[in-house]
């Protein structure tokens, strides 16, 4: 009887304890609801389960890499406005990502990636056109020099040209394969191929004019190394070095002016020294005639202009 009375007294407390909610479970449920953005969700048009955060993060990194590959190419090809538009799309998607709007960010990054790939395809086609032209012209020039070397050519000229040509054709083939399925990666490979072709022109011109005096280099406008690259390909050469052509041209002009000053100073001092060492009373007519011929030769480039 006593035990029964005790049971009656503690029964309400047992019921109360069972009905009391678990606060820790409530917190877990609340956290689960609030973290919906990080919860895997289904694609709008399929049964594939994706995580918008992970997908956005992947696009964020890959889009940035591809934009970096495109920047200099598009600036050198005169399509800076298109590049800026791609950057606006990337920044907009990144802003949504930072605001933890992962679903919106994913959609924006996907659209941005699509536009970047299309531009990579268009840019790579331009490289392909340049590559095809050089494959024809530069290869022909290298083969001609191998079959009919000019008098005075370096002994190893033929082997150097052949190495450049083989490298150009090999990398060009890789670039064409990449163009079909990964056009953004084909850009750097095409650049390498174009550089190798242009080295054929550079090597031939450098070898041909290696014995020129400073004054003769001035007359032929061969003042710096870049002058041995054909003018029609100088922008392609700059681009193959992953440099902005406009900036390199400014640097070239500055370097040329420095070389001109050095040549003028050298020949000015030499001429003054020669004049001071002459004996006017014993000057020979033949010497005067030679000096006149030299002066006439110096004026020829200006007459052509």
pLDDT class of 187 with cuts at 50, 70, 90: very high
Residue range 8-30: mean pLDDT, rounded: 46
Per the prediction, the chain carries an average pLDDT of 80
Residue range 16-38: mean pLDDT, rounded: 45
pLDDT at 65 > cutoff 70: yes
Per-residue confidence (pLDDT) for residue 126, from 0 to 100: 96
Cα 235 from Cα 175, distance rounded (Å): 20
CB 116 within 8 A of CB 87: no
Rounded to two decimals, what is the model's pTM?
Answer: 0.72
pLDDT class of 149 with cuts at 50, 70, 90: confident
pLDDT class of 270 with cuts at 50, 70, 90: low
The structural domains of the chain, with segments of one domain joined by +, span 48-267
Residue for token digits 């006593």?
A: 2
Residue range 271-278: mean pLDDT, rounded: 54
Residue range 274-286: mean pLDDT, rounded: 47
Cα 93 from Cα 97, distance rounded (Å): 6
Per-residue confidence (pLDDT) for residue 167, from 0 to 100: 97
- Structure confidence by residue, pLDDT tens digits, 218-250: 999 999 999 999 999 999 999 999 999 999 999
pLDDT at 144 > cutoff 70: yes
Residue range 135-140: mean pLDDT, rounded: 94
Per-residue confidence (pLDDT) for residue 176, from 0 to 100: 95
- Three-state DSSP string of 49-110: EECHHHHHHHHHHHHHHHHHHHHHHHHHCCCHHHHHHHHHHHHHHHHHHHCCCHHHHHHHHH
Q: Which residues have CB under 8 Å from 153's CB, separation 6+?
A: 145, 207, 208
Residue range 198-222: mean pLDDT, rounded: 94
CB 106 within 8 A of CB 122: no
Per-residue confidence (pLDDT) for residue 269, from 0 to 100: 60
């Amino acid at each position: 009887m006593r035990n029964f009375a005790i049971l009656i007294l503690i029964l309400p407390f047992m019921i109360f304890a069972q009905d009391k909610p678990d606060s820790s479970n409530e917190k877990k449920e609340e956290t689960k609801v609030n973290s919906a953005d990080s919860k895997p969700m289904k694609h709008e048009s399929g049964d594939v389960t994706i995580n918008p955060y992970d997908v956005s993060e992947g696009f964020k990194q890959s889009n940035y890499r591809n934009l970096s590959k495109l920047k200099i190419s598009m600036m050198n090809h005169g399509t800076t406005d298109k590049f800026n538009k791609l950057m606006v799309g990337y920044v907009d998607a990144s802003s949504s990502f930072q605001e933890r709007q992962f679903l919106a960010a994913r959609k924006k990054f996907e659209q941005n990636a699509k536009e970047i790939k299309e531009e990579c395809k268009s840019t790579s086609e331009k490289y392909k056109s340049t590559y095809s032209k050089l494959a024809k012209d530069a290869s022909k020039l290298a083969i001609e020099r191998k079959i009919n070397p000019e008098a005075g050519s370096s002994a190893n000229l033929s082997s150097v040209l052949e190495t450049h040509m083989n490298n150009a054709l090999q990398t060009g083939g890789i670039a064409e394969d990449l163009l079909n399925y990964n056009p953004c990666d084909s850009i750097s490979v095409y650049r390498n191929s174009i550089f190798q072709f242009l080295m054929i022109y550079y090597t031939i011109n450098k070898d041909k004019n290696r014995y020129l005096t400073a004054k003769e280099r001035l007359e032929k406008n061969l003042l710096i190394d870049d002058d041995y690259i054909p003018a029609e390909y100088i922008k392609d050469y700059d681009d193959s070095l992953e440099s902005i052509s406009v900036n390199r041209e400014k640097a070239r002009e500055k370097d040329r002016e420095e070389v001109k000053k050095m040549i003028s100073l050298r020949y000015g001092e030499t001429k003054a020294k020669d004049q001071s060492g002459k004996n006017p009373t014993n000057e020979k007519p033949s010497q005067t005639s030679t000096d006149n011929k030299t002066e006439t030769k110096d004026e020829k480039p200006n007459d052509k202009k």
